[in-house]
Amino acid sequence: MINKATQQQENENEPKVDMESVIKENNLHLIETEFFRQKKTVARVKDAQGNRLILKTGRIDSFQVLLLKTAKLIESQLYFKVPAIIKQGEGWILLEEVKGQFLNELYAEKSDWCVEVSEKIADSYQLVIQEIQKTQSLGNLLADGQEWLFSRLNLWSKPIVDAGLIDFSLVQQLKKEFEEVIAKKGENFFGWVHGNIIGDHIIVSGSDVYLLDLNAVPRIGGGYYDFLRALDFMLLKAGNDKQMSASIPKWIGQYLSEFDEAEVRLVFAFRNIGILGWDILHHKVEYTVGDIDAKKQLALRFIRREY
């Protein structure tokens, strides 16, 4: 279980980068910050030639630079493109700015297409992971995956239990089922994935789609975790909750029919514990669209697997 001390330690381990110094040393001009989820560590800047770029400082995922470079090298094999690295330094990275629309801006008018795009990106991303693994160890998949799974199950479910929306016995039941699957499949139940192939990490630019914030993290469900993550984010951002209630089970059946249905439902229950417990109840995220109470009930339906 991740406790406050662990979270504090993680924050302390993040590089402390002075964005103003990076901007000055690289002859950049600050345009704006906090345009993406109010993050102060992501800035839109301009270089001496007037080119608009994106500057990220502070927490740069450990494999992000390698993943970006690898994806760029094999880009012709991928369904998606990635921003080019312009320059990098200790704790910061300067990227080209990609013009276009975030995928979630198209949820209302092109929901089926958005889901198709998310699924193709998730599948294609595994090619990047495979290429990386030819020369780079990403970690202990089974040990790291289990630690993350059970710590997040405890952390994310607590606000839901505290709010009286589910009984703790349901959390214990989910934990037991996960333990049984892991005992049977071992590390085959896990996979290295992006972790956030979601609507505001995908930019549609003309006929191209770009994936942002590349990462390699151990997650349950192997490669299909990224697709389910795309769906739970869609639940948060789509305005038509009644449509989502019918469409999400349809999309799961359409794209994940080759996988064990009970396992897929178990993984998606876990993902909905994340968005309900951590995003909606704990962080009270402001980027949800639609009826928040309807979203809570829909998430509970997926957690209880009543669909």
For the cut 60, the answer to whether the pLDDT of residue 115 exceeds it is yes
The whole-number average pLDDT for the span 238-260 is 95
For the cut 90, the answer to whether the pLDDT of residue 16 exceeds it is no
Query: What pLDDT digit, counting tens, does each position of 122-154 carry?
Result: 999 999 999 999 999 999 999 999 999 999 999
Query: Under CATH, what is the fold of the domain 14-97?
Result: Phosphorylase Kinase; domain 1 (3.30.200)
Query: What pLDDT digit, counting tens, does each position of 44-79 carry?
Result: 999 999 999 999 997 788 899 999 999 999 999 999
Query: What pLDDT digit, counting tens, does each position of 167-204 carry?
Result: 999 999 999 999 999 999 999 999 999 999 999 999 99
* Burial call 138-160: b when 16+ CB within 10 Å, e when fewer: eeebbebbbebbbebbebbbbbb
Domains 14-97 and 102-303 share a fold: no
For the cut 70, the answer to whether the pLDDT of residue 116 exceeds it is yes
What class has domain 102-303? alpha beta
pLDDT of residue 58: 79
Contact 22/55 with Cβ under 8 angstroms? Answer: yes
> CB count, 10 Å around CB of 242?
11
pTM, whole model, 2 decimals?
0.91
The whole-number average pLDDT for the span 214-220 is 97
pLDDT of residue 12: 40
Domain ranges, ordered by start, for the chain: 14-97, 102-303
Q: Which residue has the higher pLDDT, 285 or 302?
A: 302
Burial of 272 (0-12, 13-18, 19+ CB in 10 A): buried
Count of residues in the chain:
307
